[in-house]
Amino acid sequence: MLSRVYVITGPTATGKTELGVRLAESLGGEVVSADSMQVYRHMDIGTAKPTAAETRGVPHHMIDVASPLEDYSVSRYVEDAAACCDDILSRGAIPLIVGGTGLYIDSLISGRDFSPRPLDMERRRELEELYDRLGGEAMLEKLGESDPARAAVLHPNDRKRIVRALEVAAEGGNISKHDIRTRAAEPRYEAKYIVLGYEDRGELYGRIDGRVDDMLSRGLIEEVEALLKMGVTRRHTALQAIGYKEVAAALAGDMAMDEAIETVKRESRRYAKRQISWCKRYSGALRINWKNGPDFEDALRRSTAF
């Protein structure tokens, strides 16, 4: 029998953190964050990382577990988050997986097994340099010799996945065959989903814009400057996050700061739209759509009953 976990998800700026804390307080649970950027230390403002006051003493896992100089991956998240969930379950508590990174959530629940992390980092650097020199088309042709199925579905501009597939091939593996085996595996957990949203898409977008303004007033630009001083570059995964990427570009002189801010808002709205589409796959979920702002008391009652 599979252990049960609960997932609170939905687009950005819908109150996932607050509902997660309230449910944890009510049911004796602990939160496991499912946010691909909250894993990084020193990235608090732009990721809307919950503060000590917001968590109210509820244990939160999978936050501040990596340096922004690292390239944290979904495979590493699954390994680490599963260990957290299993520990919480072993103590008789309830894991509440809270966040909006759908790939992380689905990979954790499904029990997806990832190909081993590369042991030869020199080979990775060589493949990256080869990609930069030859281009994506040539590298896809090279990949097609060992893994034609993978090469057929990758775009020439997808540098990261092309390099990864070639790494696996160099170590005698095949990502396509690995993915087939993984899809046939039994899920790791039984999950029940609570999906938050807004009845009016315009209200959601207005709240997203307001959140960006709040981040700026609390020091988002200074946070990005501090990361750059630490040696984090625009090639690092951490600085690919919405908000960080655009501000870093403005600081480098690639665009005006006003333009960067408007781009952050636009890209945040687009990301929310993608999150909404992703969440449609969760059949049987409890869907709570706010009207005129969140009503957490009502949401707590409905979630507890669910």
The reply to whether 36 and 128 lie within a common domain is: no
Q: What is the CATH number of the domain that holds 67?
A: 3.40.50.300
**Are 23 and 164 found together in one domain?**
no
pTM greater than the 0.85 cutoff: no
Q: What is the pLDDT of residue 173?
A: 74
User: What pLDDT score does 104 carry?
Assistant: 95
H helix runs in 35-115, sequence order: 52-55, 74-90, 102-110
Residue from 213, 220, 197 nearest 262 by CA: 213
Give the pairing of strands 190-198 and 286-290: parallel
Question: So what's the pLDDT on residue 111?
Answer: 78
Report how many domains make up the chain: 2
146/99 Cα distance (integer angstroms): 37
Do residues 99 and 41 share a domain? yes
CATH code (residue 144): 1.10.20.140
CA–CA dist 237, 205 (Å, integer): 26
Helix (H, G, I), strand (E, B) or coil at 61: strand
Q: Which domain holds residue 128?
A: 121-183
Do 95 and 215 belong together in one domain?
yes
Q: Are residues 206 and 248 in the same domain?
A: yes
Query: What's residue 153's pLDDT?
Result: 81
Together in a domain, 157 and 96: no
Tokens 């990084």 belong to 40
Residue 120 pLDDT: 59
Q: State whether 137 and 275 are in the same domain.
A: no
Widest CA span of the chain, in angstroms? Answer: 58
How many angstroms separate the CA atoms of 11 and 205, rounded?
10
Q: State both tokens at 260.
A: 């960067």
Enter the tokens of residue 298. 């009502």
* Domain end position, chosen among 183, 204, 229: 183
On the 0-12 / 13-18 / 19+ scale of CB atoms within 10 A, 229 is exposed
- Given 183, 202, 217, the domain boundary residue is 183
Identify the pLDDT of residue 148: 87
Averages of pLDDT over runs of 10 residues in the chain (306 residues) are 94 97 96 98 98 97 97 91 97 97 94 59 84 90 87 85 85 68 75 97 97 98 98 94 97 98 97 96 96 95 95
Note whether 171 and 150 are same-domain residues. yes
| 290 token code pair | 């706010």
Residue ending a domain, among 130, 165, 183, is 183
Pair 65, 88 in one domain? yes
- Same domain? For 271 and 191 the reply is yes
The reply to whether 73 and 194 lie within a common domain is: yes
Residues 24 and 84 in one domain: yes
**What pLDDT score was predicted for residue 180?**
62
